[in-house]
Amino acid sequence: MAIVKDFLYNNLKHNIEAGKMQYGVALETTSAEVAEVLATTDYDWLFIDAEHGPHNIQTILNVARAIAPYEMTPVVRVGEAAAGTFKQLMDSGIQNIIVPMVESGEEAAQIIRWAKYPAEGKRGMGAGVVRASRFGRIPDYQQRIDDESMIMLQIESLKGMENLDAIASTKGVGAIFLGPADLAVDMGLGPNILHPDVVAKMEYAIKRIREFGVPVGTIAATPEQAKHYADLGVSFFALGADTAFLASAADSTVTSFKAELEK
């Protein structure tokens, strides 16, 4: 059977490299149907949140399959980093992984070792029998995947900010994703990502990371804040979540009908 599509081509990675702003949306539920609905929108990538959402390898795989016919790229944020986590996700065909709460260059280097094949890393070899290589039908999988995958390290604490240079300069890092909400909490400001002190930390981090030639992603509270961060060098955003959209639409609908019917 012929392979009719280049399954390894990473749209998100190549679009970022080409200077095209990439817009993502978080999937907090495990619903493949909801994921497919989101894939029909103008979002570019799906933020499958296995850190805060109840995902496991099977739900992640179901979601990835659901959006595969579309242009949307799956990105998984793991609950914790471990060698087995990377093997399962990457052997299942997930090429873009976000690791939360990275706080040192040593952590960054270990993560990259788990994600890359020798000699760059220590990823175990199972490519001949797994979905990532289309069950052995992509003969150059091992040669290409390290270049096509994008391992993103999330900096979201004061300690991570202190060690920003060591993290961003780690060989093999695909991008840095900044987490302003946890950073704000760590600064004693609550989850206020609009606080001037948080914004100042974010501004410095964005500019400094770009000096290393590493792409930067983050979230934003408003379109104006997103534009400000984009002007500083951010090239991909996570904007909104399925659960928030559902709650907002439900509240809006029932409130408007009750207002009319209960006059």
Q: Which helix (H) or strand (E) holds 39?
A: helix 32-39
Helix, coil or strand: residue 218: strand
Residues 103, 105, 110, CA angle at the centre, nearest 5°?
95
Instruction: Please tell me whether 231 is known to bind a ligand.
Output: no
User: E strands within the chain?
Assistant: 22-27, 45-49, 73-77, 96-99, 150-155, 175-178, 216-219, 234-241
> Is there a catalytic annotation at residue 55?
no
Question: CB within 8 A of 73, min separation 6: which ones?
Answer: 10, 11, 12, 44, 45, 46, 96
Q: How far apart are the first and last CA of the chain?
A: 65
Do residues 134 and 3 make contact, with C-beta atoms less than 8 angstroms apart? yes
Distance separating alpha carbons of residues 120 and 109, to the nearest angstrom: 10
Instruction: Please tell me whether 28 is known to bind a ligand.
Output: no
Q: Give the Å distances, CA to CA, from 114 to 147, 175, 243.
A: 15, 16, 32
Distance separating alpha carbons of residues 102 and 51, to the nearest angstrom: 13
Catalytic residue among 52, 55, 195, 228: 52
Distance separating alpha carbons of residues 150 and 148, to the nearest angstrom: 7
Q: Give the Å distances, CA to CA, from 87 to 69, 82, 93, 122, 209.
A: 24, 9, 10, 10, 28
Which amino acids are annotated as binding site, given as ranges? 156, 182
Binding site for a divalent metal cation: what residues are annotated?
156, 182
Known catalytic residues? 52
